[in-house]
Chain A
């Protein structure tokens, strides 16, 4: 089966500063792939290059379609979802409207079910439906960003440190939910994280990114057992 995402020789940066050099990775049908890396390793840069927010060289193929050279909104319409780092919410729109922004391209009759699903995923958001997203806590905004990206039913969902700012218990729930969405709908996911302990429990494959290079790759359990990963990311 051909992969959902195939990245080869991805090189990207900011102006004259090259941050990523020759990054390659693959996300298979229905897979969750995690990229681990320290602060400044280039995780966010990787996702921004994939979704077209910054220019890049190399090749990025989504389900057989080359993405490089297409605008970010066109890539999204091809089925690429991206839950950005930090607070990418529409601060003056309500929680409900934020989710509807995610569902803009759904057939109208599927919208109610998708909204129910989103609130089912994060019940904490239900009582906040009519509140402006800018008035949510950091963790609540994080949940909203993930739920909003899922509303669009992407083929591949890019997740930028979804655990950031969440309590350990909420993080555990979030990852369990991501795993469930993945298992139920087959949505492939590319997850970048520093929280290796949580991320590796749900990952099929993983890579370690250092200074814009992939230095280590393996299955989730291989990485979890790797001594240098354990030292650097698991604190053991």
Chain B
């Protein structure tokens, strides 16, 4: 029982991170109809910024919390700038070309990070105290607890933003019906830019929170991105709550499968994410929370 609980909690902790990456993907998908393959690499780049700000040996040695804040702010500006410079020329292009552009971004950012920073693996401190909370046979590290708390707060903040503020409403409207939005005075391009900025900022946060476990390197986000895709597909790709719930479910499934099916072990874990994507696409293509659009035809 304790082992089961332990795996459940580990799964939830990891799953929240997958959920955050999925949320970043969903945000851009909802705003632009675009699947952003560069999401993980953007997050990785921002995590390097955090590392540069916080590392005592190679960077400025700021407190880690300040480093993360800097990385997240940088992420917002980076995302907005990418939208303006790289994506906007393809705003009216078909989805195939847009996806190829984001694949190109993936490669470019990856190479750029290795060139600007380092191709080596670097350490990043956790913003949370070390040690763990022990209850019976279950131990939850403060890092895990902190990650869950921070991402929950982030999710609630986003819900407020989109549900209650004018900016959030304008972003939703602009992604749903750009033409009517323009007729009401909404600068649709600017809303897309903000959407990309938010998405990249979320990615930066996820990157900084996962980095203490996986270290900082140009390839650090690639596995996480795949799990994020699985989470987004499971949640429905156009549903923000679905992304988070999907993330937690992927995390838990992963923890259980690798824990209870010895053959899967650690090497095949990625395959479970992939199998999950395939299964959802076959059985319920709109995901668990995805909406079949209510538009009348």
- Give me the interface of A with B, judged by CB distance under 8 Å: 51-53, 71-73, 76-77, 81-82, 84, 87-93, 97, 100-102, 104-105, 132, 134-135, 138, 148-149, 152
CA of A93 to CA of B187, assembled, Å: 18
Interface size class of B (residues with CB under 8 A): 20 to 34
Q: List 9 A-B contacts (CB under 8 A).
A: A53-B183, A73-B182, A73-B187, A76-B183, A90-B173, A91-B295, A91-B296, A132-B294, A138-B296
CB-defined contacts of A90 to chain B, threshold 8 Å:
172-173, 176-177, 180
Closest B residue by C-beta to A72: B182
B177–A89 contact, CB under 8 A? Answer: yes
Closest B residue by C-beta to A47: B183
Interface presence of B179 (CB below 8 A): yes
Question: In this complex, which of B179, B184, B186, B295 has the most chain A Cβ atoms within 10 angstroms of its Cβ?
Answer: B184
The residue that A104 contacts in the complex, of B170, B177, B179, with Cβ under 8 A, is B170
The residue that A101 contacts in the complex, of B173, B187, B291, B293, with Cβ under 8 A, is B173
The residue that A72 contacts in the complex, of B166, B177, B183, B296, with Cβ under 8 A, is B183
Q: Give min CB distance, A212 to chain B, whole Å.
A: 22
Interface of A is mostly: mixed
CA of A90 to CA of B182, assembled, Å: 12
B294–A134 contact, CB under 8 A? Answer: yes
Question: In this complex, which of A91, A92, A97 has the most chain B Cβ atoms within 10 angstroms of its Cβ?
Answer: A92
Q: Give min CB distance, A63 to chain B, whole Å.
A: 16
Q: Give min CB distance, A110 to chain B, whole Å.
A: 13
CA of A31 to CA of B186, assembled, Å: 27
Report the number of A-B residue pairs with Cβ-Cβ less than 8 Å: 87
CB-defined contacts of A105 to chain B, threshold 8 Å:
184-185
A104–B176 contact, CB under 8 A? Answer: no
Interface presence of B169 (CB below 8 A): yes
B179–A88 contact, CB under 8 A? Answer: yes
B180–A88 contact, CB under 8 A? Answer: yes
CB-defined contacts of A92 to chain B, threshold 8 Å:
176, 291, 293-295
CB-defined contacts of B296 to chain A, threshold 8 Å:
87, 91, 134-135, 138
Q: List residues of B (157-188) whose CB comes within 8 Å of A's CBs.
A: 166, 169-170, 172-173, 176-177, 179-188
B169–A100 contact, CB under 8 A? Answer: yes
B179–A84 contact, CB under 8 A? Answer: yes
Q: Give min CB distance, A111 to chain B, whole Å.
A: 9
B185–A152 contact, CB under 8 A? Answer: yes
CB-defined contacts of B181 to chain A, threshold 8 Å:
73, 101
